[in-house]
Amino acid sequence: MTSRSVRTLLTMLAVVAAMTLTPINSVTAEATDHDGEARTVLITGANRGLGLEFARQYSAAGWKVIGTARKPATATALKDLGVRLVQLDVADAASVAAMTADLADTPIDLLINNAGMANRDGMDFETMDFDGVERVLAVNTIGPMRVTRALLPNLRAGKGKQIVHISSGLGSIEENTSGGYYGYRESKAALNMFNRSLAWNTKDEGFTCVVMSPGWVRTDMGGPEADLNPEESISGMRKVIDGLTIEDTGTFQSWNGTIRAW
Ligand code: NDP
């Protein structure tokens, strides 16, 4: 073996060793700002489903994670991640105010309004329950509005200035070719409109605000027949979020990097 081929072999071994030894929770470039400080993400509804996977992945990537749960006492999987846990019911003004007080002086780089619900009897317009429709609007539409406004001082203090609302393809008017899902569809279409206004009104301050469809994902809400597992959906969304620029503000993004129709 020549000395050159020995050097090549040693270089290859070093690369393989570095890849093997990189810890899963190493801090990625994405997790730090230009000054090398860890970024902070706040994720609502982080105790299960997509929110929990967001918390797991951002935490593993080295971000400071604040995860919210309606019932922190039973949010075992979230607690096990070792992230900061805050009580929050997005439809309860007192709960939002308590969270704001708890987080005073905490800069937030990225807010992910993920918490959401579906009204299960919304398939039949003639029998659906209007209380359920009111509830889904309170959680899916007014909730993100309430949380975003409450956290604006924290977001202004952060450097990232990113706001992501988890919407749904079911909120697309153009893509609605089957009807049904009364209540849920309206809640996400209205969320999309809220985001568009927010985007216009915060662009001068440097905010990037998007709505994002996670795909159809196997969670309690998505059910076992869904296309994607949470890991795939969240990996895709994190990649999209990481690549966002202010020129993207006000857009309807999809988990796989495509733009959804309104
Ligand atoms: P899950 O039902 O698995 O989880 C919903 C999360 O939202 C839970 O953490 C739940 O908390 C929380 N939540 C519900 N109501 C409130 C409230 N009033 N205040 C605070 N938190 C609340 O749903 P997914 O993880 O699948 O959905 C996450 C988001 O993605 C939702 O906005 C949903 O609409 C959207 N989405 C999901 C799709 C899918 O295929 N899964 C497809 C398209 C969009 P708790 O445990 O206390 O109930």
pLDDT value of residue 27: 60
Position in ligand 1 atom list of the atom nearest CA 48:
9
CA dihedral 34, 213, 196, 47 (to 10 degrees): -70
Q: With contact defined as beta carbons under 8 Å apart, do 131 and 60 qualify? A: no
pLDDT value of residue 33: 82
pLDDT value of residue 29: 66
pLDDT value of residue 11: 44
State CA 166 to chain mean position distance: 6
Residue closest via CA to ligand 1's atom 32 equals: 116
Pocket of ligand 1 (CB under 6 A): 44-45, 47-51, 70-71, 88-91, 114-117, 139, 166, 168, 214, 216-217, 219-222, 226
pLDDT value of residue 131: 97
User: Could you write out the three-class secondary structure of the chain?
Assistant: CCHHHHHHHHHHHHHHHHHHHCCCCCCCHHHECCCCCECEEEECCCCCHHHHHHHHHHHHCCCEEEEEECCHHHCHHHHHCCCEEEECCCCCHHHHHHHHHHCCCCCCCEEEECCCCCCCCCCCCCCCCHHHHHHHHHHHHHHHHHHHHHHHHHHHHCCCCEEEEECCHHHCCCCCCCCCCCCHHHHHHHHHHHHHHHHHHHHHHCCEEEEEECCCECCCCCCCCCCECHHHHHHHHHHHHHHCCHHHCCCEEECCCCECCC
Q: From ligand 1's centre to the CA of 159, what distance in Å?
A: 27
Q: From ligand 1's centre to the CA of 45, what distance in Å?
A: 6
Residues of the chain falling short of pLDDT 70: 1-27, 29
pLDDT value of residue 30: 80
Residue closest via CA to ligand 1's atom 3 equals: 49
Residue closest via CA to ligand 1's atom 41 equals: 222
